Chains A and B, each alone.
Chain A
Amino acid sequence: MHFEVKIPPVGESITEVTISSWKKNNGDFVEQDEIICEVDSDKTSFEIPAEKAGKLNILKQEDETVEVGTIVCTIDTESTNNTPSSQSENKNEDHEESDSPDEVHKTGEIIEIVVPEVGESITEVTIAEWTKENGSFVEKDEIICEIDSDKATFELPSDATGILQIIAQSGDTVKVGDVVCKIEVGSSTSKPKESQSSSSKTAPETKRSNESYVKGHPSPAANKILNEKGISPSEVKGSGVDGRITKEDALKASKSQKEEKKGVSEETGDNNRSSRREKITNLRKTISKRLVSVKNETAMLTTFNEVNMKPIMDVRKKYKDQFKEKYEVGLGFMSFFTKACCIALKEWPAVNAYLDENEIEYHDYCDISIAVSTPKGLVVPVIRNAEKLSFQGIESEIIRLAGKARDGKLTIPEMTGGTFTITNGGVFGSMMSTPIINPPQSAILGMHNIVQRPFAENGEVVIRPIMFVALSYDHRIIDGRESVSFLVRVKQLLEDPMRLLLNV
């Protein structure tokens, strides 16, 4: 029998938890009440005991975040502890092992699974991780693979039930439409659950065909190198025959986070000098790759200006309560800036254009990307046709998108296709910055904090709320005249909001 182990409710406000570590390996025999898993929630860590004795079948991996109630593993209660030895007594079976699990009835049909269309501008994606192993049996619609795109991570479900044959490996970059795997269509003679429990023999043998006893065995030279680096062979992926760890693997291996952390804290005694390492998220990986490529591949520079915010602040002061009352949304600065940018973009179309090798793509609309900071990193949802939206329309859209961003629920279309970006470092107190272009866009406006400064007005020094603004732009397609004029125009529109109304 298969007993399902779920994440128990752990507290009123906790809806999801992260699996921090499995105390038992997949396939291990566990005793009832033995601790099998450690789980972290926002508030605390707790342990999950096995509710029955049997063979552990792990479904959710370490570092995965799962909702309360999710089944994290099953325990095969009919499997006994001495399975391996009873199996080896079975002499005649020795030479009869086949490479594919023999409980599957194949139909001969093979279905190819391709990278689906995930968004307008996305042409290629990276295989982040196969959640199913090569040669394993998958059900239709079961998630088999995680895919990273520039914008987000999405999951790839199986189109059919059968045996998975992986073609593109983890880390491979593939084009949309490329075949990433095949499914050898077939059904199991019985439900997979039953087949595992009824014949304790099949499970270990299937495992064997995928994983050799020798996997992770270091060569003598590799062993010495790993010892010296303080790395356990189990932390190294062997590239040799059947997963052996070669000398080259050992030379390339680096210390895992956990080990290093331990080392540091041990040495320093009472002084808390511990450092912490966390695995980089796919989003962070994408961000870092793209930012560096922008720096390298564009001729980016920044022009600055200052904006006297008093007129806008006066307008806001006067109407914000009424605005809020009427539209149930606050009147922020973003709507003024978005509006101002839309007008200026119409006048300086190069700032609203993409450079695509030998062609420049101009846009007659303004899809404004708004940089939103989330716990996992920066995302840039898009306000569509911002030029047509009212102040209220813009503010509502920002609230909606920012909310989704913080919950990590933005869809790829919602983040795709912006023509210009506004980022506001002012909310964190930035006085001045040089933002980085969000490709394939050509320019980005940076807003900053508003500070009371002495300001010359009509030959007199007065104190005014001033914001510095910055426009980073790709000099390859935007000339100085255009960029500077754009920014000056934005300044003009902001310092005299009446112009926004009249579009002059």
Chain B
Amino acid sequence: MSTYNVVIIGSGPGGYVAAIRCAQLGLKTAIIEKYDTLGGTCLNVGCIPSKALLDSSEHFHKAEKEFGEHGIQTGKLTVDLNQMIKRKDDVVDQTCKGVAFLMKKNKIDVYYGIGSFKDKETISIHGKEGKKEEIKAEKVIIATGSKPVIIPGIEYDKKRVITSTEALKLKEIPNHLIIIGGGVIGLELGSVYARLGSKITVVEFADRLISGMDSTLSKELQKVLKKLGFDFHFKTKVNSAKTKGNKVILTASNSKGENISLEGDYCLIAVGRKAYTEGLGLENVGIETDDRGKINIDENLQTKVPGIYAIGDVVKGAMLAHKAEEEGIFVAETIAGQKPHINYNLIPGVVYTWPEVASVGYTEEQLKEKSVNYKVGSFPIRALGRARASMDIDGLIKVLADKKTDEILGVHMIGPRVADLIAEAVVAMEYRASAEDVARMSHAHPTYTEAMKEACLAATENRALHL
């Protein structure tokens, strides 16, 4: 039986990054993956494939709606959905192979199969065709991730009532896609099909989109998506959804207590994800999960069983690939005797609609709740020369700073490429920069990043230059 210093169960961005870091630290490491490809949800059915389709569909959308204005005549445009999906599959395939290469390069043993605890040091792996083996581990990192949540009353048939997994490989462009949930996943996939011509209806229980983020972003995003042909039902609770022939019928009740009925040809369930620990054999080591299926951990991300750690979607906190990666590194270094730190407040959130949405730190709502005296500096994207040149004029950047010290407390962006721009805010906030600090740093012209500088100037003394 092979013995390892560390065995990681799950090869998503949390698990495989933890494995690489363990190997870098000289630990003999193995990783176990249930599916045939490495990379977990993110690479296979999450971040990467959705971005591939988002980019493809955005090209189509731009060609259809904006090329004329640019002076490019295209004639009639058609979508080859099969090719689009195939290209997405190729991207996924390359990325997954990249992870496999990284495992090999770092001399990490990869086991394919369902890993489960036999006892605290023994992991049994149930492979395909009844293949079974056992390995020994001094330390175990649980990184089994999450699965889409299905709410009661909804008949998830994977054909017309679907989750994000199926939405990434549809055979046709829906005429009318009903999306349950106005969060990140629903809006990204909704954007893909809206750009390709689908009518989109979003049914959301809360009173706004992306409800965890700053409400300014919700409002802006709603405006933009409306232009794209989105319809919204807020404060509406879905009661049922089921397939009837080529249609999906959805019933719901709105805030006035009225029952409404929606008819579409596809229904995407995007109400969130839940921790996934099925078949892990947690009961054999005495680890319990909370009411949301998450594994409880201490400040070192260790479960109540010494030597068994858990990271990523399977534990508390935002379900984000980059959060899982940080936790993977954290645990690897902790096992190696180091003392790393994660600043959870500075893990950015991003939404890949177009314009993109990105956010880090406190929202205005949170600051109000904490009774922090803050000031706001906001700058519209349309005031940037760069934005007018590219015809991406929607959005804004909003900087929240401490009224007394001018320290940046939150940055909220909606606009072109802001998913990339948010990194500047994270760096500034890790160093606890003041708004004026950033305002005094040279930002190349003409770029989208100038909006960050201008918003910081606005926050400093309300002295934005180009407004």
- Identify the A interface with B (CB < 8 A): 84, 88, 94-95, 208, 212-214, 217, 219-220, 223-224, 227-228, 241, 244
The 6 A-B residue pairs with the shortest CB-CB distance, nearest first, are A227-B339, A213-B405, A228-B339, A214-B432, A88-B373, A217-B432
Q: Give the distance to chain A from B414, nearest Cβ to Cβ, in Å.
A: 27
B341 touches A214 (CB 8 A): no
Which residue of chain B lies nearest to A225 when distances are taken between CB atoms in the complex? B339
B338 at the interface (CB under 8 A from A): yes
CA distance A244 to B343 in the complex (A): 17
CA distance A228 to B333 in the complex (A): 11
B214 at the interface (CB under 8 A from A): no
Q: Indicate whether A95 sits within 8 Å of B373 (C-beta atoms), given known contacts A213-B407, A227-B341.
A: no
Contacts of B341 in A (CB 8 A): 220, 223-224, 227
Contacts of A244 in B (CB 8 A): 431-432
Contacts of A220 in B (CB 8 A): 341, 343, 430
B 399-422 contacts with A by CB, 8 A: 402-405, 407
Contacts of B212 in A (CB 8 A): none
A228 touches B338 (CB 8 A): yes
B461 touches A224 (CB 8 A): no
Which residue of chain B lies nearest to A246 when distances are taken between CB atoms in the complex? B431
Q: List 13 A-B contacts (CB under 8 A).
A: A88-B373, A88-B403, A88-B404, A212-B405, A214-B405, A214-B432, A219-B430, A220-B341, A220-B343, A223-B341, A224-B339, A224-B340, A241-B437
Residue in B341, B343, B402 whose Cβ sees the most chain A Cβ within 10 Å? B341
CA distance A223 to B333 in the complex (A): 14
CA distance A214 to B437 in the complex (A): 12
CA distance A94 to B403 in the complex (A): 8
Contacts of A241 in B (CB 8 A): 437
CA distance A235 to B405 in the complex (A): 23
Q: Which of A208, A214, A219, A224 contacts B407, CB < 8 Å?
A: A214
CA distance A213 to B430 in the complex (A): 14
CA distance A214 to B403 in the complex (A): 15
Q: Which of A84, A217, A227 contacts B431, CB < 8 Å?
A: A217
Which residue of chain A lies nearest to B341 when distances are taken between CB atoms in the complex? A223
CA distance A208 to B403 in the complex (A): 14
Q: Give the distance to chain B from A208, nearest Cβ to Cβ, in Å.
A: 8
Q: Give the distance to chain A from B17, nearest Cβ to Cβ, in Å.
A: 17
- Identify the B interface with A (CB < 8 A): 338-341, 343, 373, 402-405, 407, 430-432, 434, 437, 461
Q: Give the distance to chain B from A425, nearest Cβ to Cβ, in Å.
A: 48
Contacts of B338 in A (CB 8 A): 224, 228
Which residue of chain A lies nearest to B339 when distances are taken between CB atoms in the complex? A227
Which residue of chain B lies nearest to A89 when distances are taken between CB atoms in the complex? B373
Which residue of chain A lies nearest to B373 when distances are taken between CB atoms in the complex? A88
Which residue of chain A lies nearest to B404 when distances are taken between CB atoms in the complex? A88
CA distance A95 to B432 in the complex (A): 20
Q: Give the distance to chain B from A427, nearest Cβ to Cβ, in Å.
A: 51
Which residue of chain B lies nearest to A224 when distances are taken between CB atoms in the complex? B340
Which residue of chain B lies nearest to A227 when distances are taken between CB atoms in the complex? B339
CA distance A244 to B434 in the complex (A): 13
CA distance A94 to B343 in the complex (A): 29
Contacts of A84 in B (CB 8 A): 404
B403 touches A219 (CB 8 A): no
Contacts of A208 in B (CB 8 A): 405
Contacts of B461 in A (CB 8 A): 95
Q: Give the distance to chain A from B40, nearest Cβ to Cβ, in Å.
A: 26
CA distance A96 to B341 in the complex (A): 38
Which residue of chain A lies nearest to B463 when distances are taken between CB atoms in the complex? A95
Which residue of chain A lies nearest to B375 when distances are taken between CB atoms in the complex? A94
CA distance A271 to B432 in the complex (A): 45
Q: Give the distance to chain B from A504, nearest Cβ to Cβ, in Å.
A: 77
Contacts of B402 in A (CB 8 A): 213
Which residue of chain B lies nearest to A228 when distances are taken between CB atoms in the complex? B339
CA distance A214 to B428 in the complex (A): 12
Contacts of A214 in B (CB 8 A): 405, 407, 431-432, 434
Contacts of B431 in A (CB 8 A): 214, 217, 219, 244
CA distance A384 to B15 in the complex (A): 80
Contacts of A224 in B (CB 8 A): 338-341
Which residue of chain B lies nearest to A213 when distances are taken between CB atoms in the complex? B405
Contacts of B434 in A (CB 8 A): 214
Contacts of B437 in A (CB 8 A): 241
Contacts of A212 in B (CB 8 A): 405
Which residue of chain B lies nearest to A220 when distances are taken between CB atoms in the complex? B430
CA distance A88 to B339 in the complex (A): 38
Q: Give the distance to chain B from A418, nearest Cβ to Cβ, in Å.
A: 54
CA distance A88 to B430 in the complex (A): 25
Contacts of A88 in B (CB 8 A): 373, 403-404
Contacts of B430 in A (CB 8 A): 219-220
CA distance A241 to B402 in the complex (A): 18
11 further A-B contacts with Cβ under 8 Å, apart from A214-B405, A224-B338, A227-B341, are A88-B373, A88-B404, A95-B461, A208-B405, A212-B405, A214-B431, A220-B341, A220-B343, A220-B430, A224-B339, A224-B341
